Structure 1
């Protein structure tokens, strides 16, 4: 369904309607001539309903801060759908390019060492309030 729509229409639907519908905020259907067909809205509702049912709470900054672990199941559900699309994707399948990006639900630790270069002049400026005099050769 989204393949036949323009990118601007899809973006408008996602930002103005679908996100609010899933998060149970007041969703407003975009007012564009290309989106006046009621079947489009019905299909979007059917597409978003499983996500809305899985979330089953109104999303706000307060609810995210109170219990961030509650939303992990929703992220896992989205990730499973994305992984399924990657698994069944055939090489050179032009109907579904690009594939959605996979993501990590939890931060992944790294063993990459970070290094910081410290110069004595900068450190002394913090400790003494002034930089050391530079030597001229």
Structure 2
């Protein structure tokens, strides 16, 4: 006879049976997500549209400095990326003219290796160093060790040795040594909140990896079959672009600055955070209650900005196509 389940599923929030957590709509403590809330008010076929305002009118005064200094500092890094790849700096104010002149006329001439013309590929091969130490290890095993143990250890997560891969104490010790080189460069746990709050804190491990990879390429001899394929180099700066960049500001970007360390869940809770930073008066909403109770238009808790203007993303009910019946048009009706 088949054994029946001895325990019923019980919710960790309300302690009732039939569901596992408050994410289930059956839970009394369920908080509606953004999509659930918008669908319940506007229907499942709502449409999206954008309203644009200048930063001075869209952002409350106490947060305007935050938007320009914290969110848009990446414009400087785009310009630096253009310098080291030999491209013309397209941003007029991110880098001083004297720096551009010095770089192109003096520094680059004295140190030509500073400019790279190589095409960097996106991403990098995480288990490369493991495979260099354990040449006979399968690539899939090296990737699993890198993901389950090395990545978690370096990022201050919960590292676990893969159960299906046999590793001796000596093997684990060697892998530990590799991880320690990176781990000391990461000062705090890597999460969406910590990355959004200050991405520069996590730049050092990238530079370290790039220096190791560059050394591998420099020491590589032609026709050297004893080595594994060289690791893919990567570009630590954002990819330079001639287009002016728009930044999407979601609750994950907003949260570290409004309530650091607190993740807001549920549509209404997240709406309150946006209302603390952005002004909706010019958009026809005099209060937070107007935003909550509108039955025709709802804010999607999402904005985009280029540093000068702010695009507010809204949803509204889809309009029904109006069909005119009982009218037969003839040629003479058109003039």
Q: 1:28 aligns with which of 125, 143, 160?
A: 160
Structure 2 residue 177 is matched with structure 1 residue 46? yes
Among 59, 64, 67, the residue aligned to 2:190: 59
Aligned residues of 1:21 and 1:27 also touching (Cα < 8 A): yes
- Count of aligned pairs: 112
Q: Give the alignment partner of residue 7 of structure 1, picking from 134, 139, 147.
A: 139
Distance across 2 between alignment mates of 1:109 and 1:46: 35
TM-score normalised by structure 1 residue count: 0.74
Q: Which structure dedicates a bigger proportion of its chain to helix?
A: 1
**What CA distance in whole angstroms lies between the structure 2 residues aligned with 1:2 and 1:101?**
19
Partner of 2:185: helix, strand, or coil? helix
Q: Which portions of structure 1, spanning 4 or more consecutive aligned residues, are displaced by more than 3 angstroms? A: none
Pair 1:67–1:111, CA change in 2 (3 A): closer
Deviation sequence 1:51-89 (CA, Å, 0-9, x none): 000112211111111111111122111101100000001
* Structure 2: runs of 5+ lacking an equivalent: 1-132, 244-335
Pick one of 202, 209, 215 that aligns with 1:71.
202
Corresponding residue SS for 1:99: coil
TM-score normalised by L of structure 2 = 0.32
**1:92 counterpart = 2:235:** no
RMSD between aligned alpha carbons? 1.9
1:53–1:90 Cα change, 3 Å? same
Residue in 1 that maps onto 2:212 = 81
Cα offset, 1:7, TM superposition: 1.4
CA distance in 1, matches of 2:184, 2:240: 32
Q: Give the C-alpha shift of residue 109 in structure 1.
A: 2.4
Gaps of at least 5 residues in structure 1 are 113-137
With a CA cutoff of 8 Å and minimum separation of 6, indicate the structure with the bigger relative contact order. Answer: 2
Distance 2:233 2:193 in 1: 27
Q: 1:23: how far off?
A: 0.7
Deviations 1:101-120 (A, max 9, x none): 111111242569xxxxxxxx
